[in-house]
Chain A
Amino acid sequence: MRPERSLSPARLWAFGLWLALFLTPLAAGRFTVYILGVILVTGLLAMSLNLLVGHGGAYQFHHGAFYGVGAYTAALLITKTSLPAWVGLAAGPAAAAAAGLLIGSLCIRLNKLYFGMIQISLGSLLWILALRWYDLTNGDDGIHGIPLPEILSGSGPTFTFILLVVGVCLLGMHRILESPFGTTLRAIRDNPQRCAAVGINVRRHQLAAIGIAAFFAGVAGVLFVVLEGSVFPDMLFWVLSLEIFIMCLLGGWFTFFGPMVGAAIIVLLRTVVGGYTEYWTLILGVVLILLIFFLPEGLMGVGHRLRVYRHRAAGAPSRGADRAAG
């Protein structure tokens, strides 16, 4: 049942783009490379959220908490212990996944909106700890000048590392979504009762998905540390979590690359618009409301629908909604 395993045009384009991006540090200036790095890190975070919300149907309202846990774990292990920096960087995603399973196991007992509310509550506890445990986290100031391995010094190597890790993560996420596990997850999203009736352990699958999504959010958090050399309590703040939702919405739920596209647009928009006005938030709010009204499927979602129409017009059967954009 998998005729186009790895040769769909979208995948080829994405792979080509990924390869081409390795050349940017040679051709582009420092700022461009930095912005591309921000896009990749934010996009990975948004894609990890979409893994859970778009494909898993879980109301993960405070995904930023796991991003923050990953980043803070790496930052604290590097600055407060004598362990090698790589250990800190590797521990970040693991800690995020553990936090995801812990918080998830508390949330998973409840239905959609309650799930989200409890997650905001628990995530906010982590935020308040990062903000108030001044001796450990420097509170509001965050932790700066985190020493990184020698090999990651300079914007070029940093970017190459981020691009490599994001590439591996995307491949991993894609494999997970294409696997029987991913199919089960989408089945649970569409009809949890029926899944339970045919003997699928709904909660265990969703909990696993939360752990996986938190892991990738943790990777994004660690990459943020690599990119910026610092962490802030705002990474754990609920506003960031909802901003990631905007990126997924803009790019398109149910599509694989959508959130990355959304993240790229939002980051670029903020960089450009932020230079002209201090009211960036207002513009973001207007964009969000326009999206909700006029483009609820997102850019990739609309692209997919157009392709389906064209296929139908040409007499070809349409493909499954969640496969098409992969």
Chain B
Amino acid sequence: MEAAPSLASFLSQLLVGLSRAMILFIVASGLSFILGVLRVPNVAHGSLYMIGAFAAHSIATALGGHPAGFWAAMAGAPLIVGAVSLAAERLLFRHLYEREHLMLLLFTFGLALILGDLTKMTWGADYRSIVPPPALQGSLDVLGTALPRYNLFLLLVGPAVALALWAVSTKTRFGKIARAAAVDREMVGAIGINVSWVFAWAFVLGCVLAGLGGALVSPTISVTLGMDHTIIIEAFLIVTIGGLGNIGGALVGSLLFGVTQSLGVLVLPQFAIVFPYLAVVLILTFKPTGLLRSVW
């Protein structure tokens, strides 16, 4: 008598955790990619995620709740974020690459402060949310458990992004150059490649992923100011336990983070959010460089 409901709640919590992990992965993989190529922890990443969520809401609202509005938002918001990051990189960031890493980190922090307030100016402090298209509303019945369709959709998107990112970094010319530039910037420049633009596109690609994460999360949470602060800490933790710059590590870290938290709800609801942090501490105590190999 007890088994059935607890299996159902286990399954639905697992799905919540996995779909949360997919969002975390999309954001963290962007952070990890930038770390791998530019060697900069991009503190502004969380702000770009927040801008992605707000922009998605604006696009969906502008199209008046038409189902296509959702898809336009999912495509348009990352592009807006990409444009913002490209502007920041070309106008400011590229002049700093020769500086110490601490300065690069502080620059991205300055960017985060500015983008945070610009978001407040543009969208205000209201709570917003997006309605997914009819095809992704409601839930599917699996083993007697109602699983929300949108969460299942995220389970498809996450691996797709992982696959695409893996393909870009290992199979394309750009990916190979970017990884080479990460190891030896001068050498790559010496063979006639414009390293500055390689870094720019690597930065933009990472930031676009933050924007995509923000757009995808917008139907599941209320979009509001302050969502940048929590995601950036979570993304930092994930890339650290995964191995800095390792995209596969970001996937492992995200799954660990999302699932420990959602299953923790079943054990100790009040402290559910502490579980992933404890997992991080345990991992770092025994394996300080992360679970998978760092690219550094």
Contact = CB atoms under 8 A, between A and B. Distances in A.
B106 A128 contact: no
Interface in A38-59: 53, 59
Interface stretch (B129-137, B187-195, B277-285): B277-285
A292 interface: yes
A116 B41 contact: yes
B274 A282 contact: no
A68 to B, nearest CB: 15
Interface in A91-140: 106, 109-110, 112-114, 116-118, 120-122, 124-125, 128-129, 132-134
B117 interface: yes
Contacts, number: 121
B285 A113 contact: no
B107 interface: yes
Interface string A242-285: 10011001000000000000000000000000000011011011
Contacts of B116: 281-282, 285
Interface in B60-92: 92
Interface string B261-285: 0000000001101100110110011
A288 interface: yes
B243 to A, nearest CB: 10
Nearest to B281: A125
A285 B120 CA distance: 14
B149 interface: no
**What range describes how many residues of A lie at the interface?**
35 or more
A279 B120 contact: yes
Given A129-B274, A282-B116, 10 more contacts: A113-B41, A121-B280, A121-B281, A124-B236, A238-B233, A279-B121, A282-B117, A292-B96, A293-B95, A296-B99
23 contacts: A53-B102, A106-B288, A113-B39, A113-B244, A113-B296, A116-B41, A116-B105, A117-B236, A118-B284, A120-B240, A245-B106, A281-B116, A281-B117, A282-B114, A285-B113, A285-B117, A286-B110, A289-B107, A289-B114, A292-B96, A292-B106, A296-B99, A296-B103
Nearest first, the 10 A-B pairs at minimum CB distance are A285-B113, A282-B117, A285-B114, A288-B110, A289-B110, A125-B277, A285-B110, A117-B240, A242-B109, A281-B117
Interface of B: 39, 41, 43, 92, 95-96, 99, 101-103, 105-107, 109-114, 116-118, 120-121, 229, 233, 236-237, 239-241, 244, 270-271, 273-274, 277-278, 280-281, 284-285, 288-289, 294, 296
